[in-house]
Structure 1
Amino acid sequence: MIPIASPVYYLGDWAGNVTDDYGVDWVVQTEDGWSSSPPIKPTQTDKSQGDGAWQGPGFYGARVINLKGTAIAGDRLSMLAAKRRIKAAIGARALAKLTVAEADLTLTSQVRLSDQIDISDKGARGFVWSLTVVAADPRRYSADSAQPSTGLPVVGAVGRTYNRTYPYSYPIPAGGTGSVFFNNLGDYDQTPAVITIWGPVINPWIAHVQTGRTLSFGITVLEGQRLVVDLLARTVMLNGTASRASAVTPGSAWFMLTKGLNEVQFRGDAGASGTGAVPVMSMTAASAWT
């Protein structure tokens, strides 16, 4: 594909503002919903006895994106094939990735088709098209994600050593706090992340320094197991299949990453290991924009 204008829109195997591999020029003439901020869901209630309203912090709604343009092919058969390609780019059921590449930044969003794809002929070799997609998560994410990780610092036992080995592994006491850092370059004040904790670790907890919120888990993650914490979906999964939401201890508070520099801390008791494995926490996150 050869870009012919900016930005370039990529959706499945289709792209807008390009000359595609079949020689068809796809021109996006109108865009609505991508460049603007998401719709706002205000939180307010009219005062029953007084002027004005009671008002709280609002929320962002789903992002609806409309694209309209023209397609010009070299011949009628190529034009007919182009119609089929744009309709095959996205369907009503599965999510698709919308990527928008601008001169300075490339951002992505997970979208689903929300209305029919309209197509109207324009001459013998061209047609006018329009499509509407919706992103349930209104954030526009950086195309590149970061995955910092940290081990669990431990303190070795203090005392006399003996030149003898016993066929048993004892838990290693945790002696410190590991930290991962992520710089959210976007302007979204609540950006999600996926945190993975690798065993062996007993009763792990994670804390977001900037908000002061902590999530702790009453669970033992054995060597070779992983506990995956999705901050957006608010799910806790062991080895990707078994829910462990019940392991979240009372007093825990879910959090999101903020704008700018974020520090997430990791603690727990290192469990028994037959191979010398140490507990590790990793975090996958991408900068997010409104």
Structure 2
Amino acid sequence: MSELTDFQLEIAGVRLGHGTSVPVAQIEGLARPAVRGEVVEQPNADGAWLGADWYEARTLRIDCGVKTPGDPAAAARIVAQLEEAADDPRVRTVGGAVTALRIKWPGAPVRVLFGRLRKVEASWEQAALGWVPLDLEFTAPDPRYYADVEQSVGLRLGWLSGGGFTAPVQAPIRVSDGDQSGQDRPGWVTNNGTVDAYPVITVYGPCANPVITHVETGRRIDLGITVPAGEYVRVDTRPGRRTVTRQDGGTVATTSPLGSFRLPKGRSEVRWTASDPTASARLTVAWRDAFKTLVNPKENFVP
């Protein structure tokens, strides 16, 4: 990933905005996303009843252009790179697949939207002069902004979840009992964002009947399966990608509501249990801090 400066964006390796070959005139869609919800007129009364409001997908419309004076071939290459990104079959033809749009705005670190480049429309009338106006459209099914860097923690079944000494140590020394069953293993995760984050959880075998629990909320994911040694099962709780898949791509059925398993802002704990006579199974929890807005009003960012 390249470093971005204020008023710059990046998609598919192409940087747009201030100080680049693709200056941006206007961007629509960075503010609060559109909402959908019922507005029901009240019979025989003034006004209406408002139902729940739900965010729609976030669509960015970027009015920009490629500026390469004296080098129209360079402009054509940049447009072609964006067209290739929009036509990538790994994203375009796979349900739920997305790519990243990175944004650097004043007063905040780089934020990321995940979606698809749905429109790349170029005007070639002035291409000989090295100027190609561009109309880009990027649709993010999840309107939240995310941190540029993914965080992760690993949890093994072979580590005790409790026990040890209580400081300060004074005579007589009392030793508390840890979890001798070798089943429950805690893991601390911290979402530094302003809204709930949705993790990707990977269970590496050998183990059977893994159960993942978010301690503070009590929400759990129960996988009544066996994960052989050398293989893994991935639980993706992210919006639009809520699936449980094996290493070979096969899906795993579960009755657990994946959408309710989330990491609230701040610090919380994830635990898991499983049957593993070798004590070598492990689990990873990966997530990105999630934000309501492009710039957090309470954020004091120093680059």
Coarse TM-score class (shorter-chain normalised) = 0.7 to 0.9
Structure 2 distance, partners of 1:125, 1:238, is 49
Match of 2:236 in 1: 230
Tell me which amino acid in the other structure corresponds to 1:196.
T
Out of 204, 207, 210, the residue aligned to residue 216 of structure 2 is: 210
Aligned-residue offset at 1:227: 1.9
Runs of 4+ in 1 over 4 A off after TM superposition: 2-5, 43-51, 120-123
Match status 1:39 vs 2:38: no
TM-score normalized with structure 1 length: 0.75
Please tell me whether Structure 1 or Structure 2 has the larger radius of gyration of its CA atoms.
Answer: 1
CA gap 1:45/1:126 in 2 versus in 1, 3 angstroms: same
CA gap 1:263/1:88 in 2 versus in 1, 3 angstroms: same
Retained in 1: the 8 A contact 2:6–2:18?
no
Structure 2 distance, partners of 1:134, 1:18, is 22
Task: Write the deviation string for residues 217-273 of structure 1: whole angstroms up to 9, x where unpaired.
Answer: 222223323221111222112224221214x46x998422222223222122x3233
Retained in 2: the 8 A contact 1:40–1:60?
yes
Match of 2:280 in 1: 278
Match of 1:63 in 2: 58
Structure 1 distance, partners of 2:129, 2:232, is 58
Over the aligned positions, Cα root-mean-square deviation in angstroms equals 3.1
Match of 1:96 in 2: 99
Out of 171, 185, 190, the residue aligned to residue 183 of structure 1 is: 190
SS of the equivalent of 2:288 reads coil
Match status 1:81 vs 2:86: no
Aligned-residue offset at 1:135: 1.3
Tell me which amino acid in the other structure corresponds to 1:288.
A
Retained in 1: the 8 A contact 2:159–2:185?
no
Task: Write the deviation string for residues 159-181 of structure 1: whole angstroms up to 9, x where unpaired.
Answer: xxxxxxxxxxxxxx844521222
Structure 1 distance, partners of 2:258, 2:17, is 48
Tell me which amino acid in the other structure corresponds to 1:66.
R
Aligned residues: 257
Structure 2 distance, partners of 1:213, 1:49, is 44
TM-score normalized with structure 2 length: 0.72
Structure 2 distance, partners of 1:219, 1:179, is 21
Counterparts in 2 of 1:39-188, with a 5 A limit?
39-42=34-37, 45-46=40-41, 52-53=48-49, 55-56=51-52, 58-75=53-70, 78-89=71-82, 90-92=85-87, 94=91, 95-103=98-106, 104-119=108-123, 121=125, 124-152=129-157, 174-188=181-195
CA gap 1:28/1:150 in 2 versus in 1, 3 angstroms: same
SS of the equivalent of 2:22 reads strand
Tell me which amino acid in the other structure corresponds to 1:102.
W
Structure 2 unaligned residues grouped into runs of 5+: 92-97, 161-179, 293-303
Tell me which amino acid in the other structure corresponds to 2:283.
M
Structure 1 distance, partners of 2:3, 2:206, is 50
Greater strand proportion: 1
Match of 1:30 in 2: 26
Retained in 1: the 8 A contact 2:4–2:110?
no
Give the fraction of aligned pairs with identical amino acids, expressed as a percent. 22
Task: Write the deviation string for residues 42-66 of structure 1: whole angstroms up to 9, x where unpaired.
Answer: 356555686632623x322111001
Structure 1 distance, partners of 2:209, 2:44, is 51
Match of 1:260 in 2: 266
Tell me which amino acid in the other structure corresponds to 2:246.
L
Structure 1 unaligned residues grouped into runs of 5+: 156-172
Retained in 2: the 8 A contact 1:44–1:54?
yes
Aligned-residue offset at 1:81: 3.3
Structure 2 distance, partners of 1:12, 1:111, is 12
Tell me which amino acid in the other structure corresponds to 1:238.
R
